[in-house]
Structure formats: structure tokens, C-alpha cells
Amino acid sequence: MTEEEIYRKLTAIFRDVFDDDDLVARPELTAEDVPDWDSLSHVRLIFTVARQFQTQFSAAEIADLKNVGDLAAMLKRKTLVGLGN
């Protein structure tokens, strides 16, 4: 999966979770940038991302995320591992 595909898919997920059709997943995006991003929506976001990308995250992986760029990079690594690369 390319980085562009990951961000496209993340944008759709973010728009759904935060009910904001103008939201765009970009590397520097953080919870501080999204008014409705609270702890409950964060849990929903992580579960939705895991389900849509057919992967799992450890608590340590989630805790290490600083922004959407970190999430996208982790998803790219996980999809490469899933392909046997």
C-alpha cells in the first residue's frame, strides 16, 4: 500500500469518526488540531483504523504516536510486513 493510499484511507476514516467532511489526514495533524478529538473518539479512531487496515496495535505502539504521520508510517510498515516484505 502506498503512502498516498494510506492517507486517502485515513482521511475517509477521520471524516467518519469526527463527522467532518472537510477533515484531511496529513502528517502533522494532531489531536490538538481537531476540536472533537477527545479520549473516547481517540479509542474509536484507533479501533476503526485497525479494522479498516486489518491490523492490530499494541498499547506501546499507540502511546508512541505523536501525529498522523507517525500513524501512517506505522501502517506502512505493518502492511509491508503483512505482504512478507
| Domains defined for the chain, CATH in brackets | 3-82 (1.10.1200.10)
- What is d(CA 33, CA 54) in angstroms, rounded to the nearest whole number? 26
- What is d(CA 30, CA 16) in angstroms, rounded to the nearest whole number? 17
Question: Could you list the mean pLDDT of each consecutive 10-residue stretch along the chain, which spans 85 residues?
Answer: 95 97 98 95 97 95 96 92 51
Q: Give the model's pLDDT for residue 1.
A: 86
